[in-house]
Amino acid sequence: MATKLYVGGLPYSTTQDELQTAFAKAGAVVSTSIIMDKMTGRSRGFGFVEMGSDDDAQKAIEMWNGQDFDGRKLTVNEAKPLEARPPRREGNFGGGGGRDWQ
């Protein structure tokens, strides 16, 4: 079963191919994704690597967590499932007001 890893501290110039090549040293890489900022299109400095097995994932964590990658220290651990967030309310742009002080 594939295991998804969180990879933080990536240099902003890192490509998915570079990430895949680096993690392939630990075992079979199923997929990689680098999270991009929607507004700027620039990397946000973190991503995910899906390893082919739990053993490969553990080896990748041991190999890369805390290690230097192009001048930045990586944080690598098992990705946590995305938690459900309450839906955003349309038109709510903050600001004060609307309070009932009775």
Higher pLDDT, 3 or 83: 3
CATH number of 3-76: 3.30.70.330
* Neighbour count for residue 10 (Cβ, 10 Å): 21
The residue behind tokens 């038109």 is 91
Q: What is the pLDDT of residues 30-49, one digit of tens each?
A: 999 999 999 999 999 999 99
Q: What is the DSSP letter of 81?
A: P
Residue 42 CA to residue 34 CA, distance in Å, equals 10
Residue ranges per domain, the chain? 3-76
pLDDT of residue 59: 97
- Our separate counts of H helices and E strands in the chain read 2, 6
Q: Which of 20, 8, 30, 6 is nearest to 78 (CA)?
A: 6
